[in-house]
Amino acid sequence: MTTRQTTLDTGRERPLDPATARGALPEARSTTAPSARIAPDETLACPACRTPLSGPGPAWSCSRCALAFPDDAGLPVLLPPGAAHIRDMQAHIHDDLSRLHNARKLPLYWQTGFRYVFNLLMAKHARMLARLHPRAGERHLDVGCQDGMILSQIVHRWGVRGTGVDVSEDSLRLALQRNDLGLRYYLADALSLPFREGSFDTVHSLGTMEHVPHPERFVAELARVARPGGRVLFDMINRHDGLTLHGVERWWAERRGRGGAARAVSMSIGHDPATFLDPGEVRAMCKAAGLRVRRISVYNAFVPLWVDTRLPRILARLRGRKVDFVGRPLVPGPGKEGDAGGNGADPRGSPGREPGAGGTGPGAGGLAARRAGALALKGILPVAELLDLPFTALGYGNSFYVLAERPER
């Protein structure tokens, strides 16, 4: 079997290095002198006053407010004054999860342009990202990029120039280790993005909005950094999830007296149900930010959630394994009954976990099996969404995507 990946400059596919496909990490880039490899980023602006930054060097600096932003071993830290508490609130959660999930993922999930997917959510992400219509050479921003997997897939598939930001330093260090494309990564706050207005042709943010304290500012920032005519995609956990798999599980947990434990687990991974929104509220935020909403897609009612979070558990039991395919203990723990993200998992079924990825990686047979599995998942996705339609059409789902654009002036 020939595995292929996409070149950055042409968007065409080329053979994937067999050693990389088998699971060997590409040689890590040095993270001590980024200016020697990557040209100065003319999109950077002070996150406090929006003045263009000068640099690089020991630090990026703002001529207007005299702030300096250090380059920490190849990772520019572009946080505005007072943003440390926001970083502290969320970063420790994602630091731990990124280390856990990254260790289970094969390099082919960075390098094949969504040719390989390992759950329905990842397949859904790929489909929605395609609606941004990325084009080779365009600037693309990933807000909340985690370990860079999704951004790298986008660059390999469409040949965009990628930039990623996150508040988790550990996540970004992992992204830099696998940065064979020279992508730009910055430690930054999603509510004060360190870029000039209109810097990007396309912007996306997945699994981030529910973690920010001011969602209206988050949407406004996505709109600000998109150019006129630029496209924006983000998702959010849906407040209306009563008629979903998670809603039913939560109801059952309450009946059995385990609702408090379920809520505690959800809060421990930064998911506060009080902050979840419905599509109408987010549509209003987009309008206030100057975005024109093109599509809202409600997702994850019953079937996709069951396939992504329950089927692996059943298969693991059949094989006699003590841990399911996404690393959750099979022994019931606090919150398992009421939150599918129990034991520290994203309740939507995070795309950041690949079942069974180890240090040695798959052989040729393993690659063929993963390719067949990816094709099966992509084929199952529309069927699963059709079966969910009676619920999602009424607005019930665990999450929803918003596809919007910034109108031309």
**Residue-level pLDDT at 250:** 85
- 318 & 373 share domain: yes
- 281 & 306 share domain: yes
Between CA 204 and CA 368, with CA 120 as vertex, the angle to 5 degrees is 110
Number of domains comprising the chain: 2
Report percent pLDDT > 70 for the chain: 73
**pLDDT at residue 358 is higher than 80:** no
**Residue-level pLDDT at 333:** 39
Coil, helix or strand at residue 187: strand
**pLDDT at residue 271 is higher than 90:** no
Confidence of residue 172 (pLDDT cuts 50, 70, 90): very high
Structural contact between residues 69 and 59, judged by C-beta atoms closer than 8 angstroms: yes
Read off the CATH number of the domain in which 281 is found.
Answer: 3.40.50.150
Query: Tell me: the pLDDT tens digits for 4-32?
Result: 333 333 333 434 444 444 343 333 333 33
d(CA 113, CA 150): 9
Query: Tell me: the pLDDT tens digits for 57-112?
Result: 678 899 999 999 998 888 999 998 876 555 555 566 666 666 656 656 777 888 88
Q: Which of 78, 109, 138 finishes a domain? A: 78
Q: Which residues face 4 on adjacent strands? A: 15
141: Cβ contacts below 8 Å, ≥ 6 apart: 163, 164, 165, 193, 195, 199, 200, 202, 203, 204, 225
- 278 & 397 share domain: yes
**Residue-level pLDDT at 122:** 95
Residue 2: inside a domain: no
- 266 & 334 share domain: yes
Residue 12: inside a domain: no
- 198, burial (CB in 10 Å: exposed 0-12, middle 13-18, buried 19+): middle
What mean pLDDT is predicted for residues 28-46?
57
Structural contact between residues 278 and 240, judged by C-beta atoms closer than 8 angstroms: yes
Structural contact between residues 351 and 121, judged by C-beta atoms closer than 8 angstroms: yes
Task: Please give the residue range of the domain that contains residue 167.
Answer: 83-405
- 142 & 226 share domain: yes
- 74 & 91 share domain: no
Residue 69: inside a domain: yes
Closest CA relative to residue 221, chosen from 244, 197, 257, 202: 197
pTM: 0.81
Coil, helix or strand at residue 310: helix
**Residue-level pLDDT at 68:** 92
**pLDDT at residue 287 is higher than 90:** yes
Percent of the chain that is helix, strand, coil (3-state, to 5): 40, 20, 45
Structure-token match 């079937």, residue found: 303
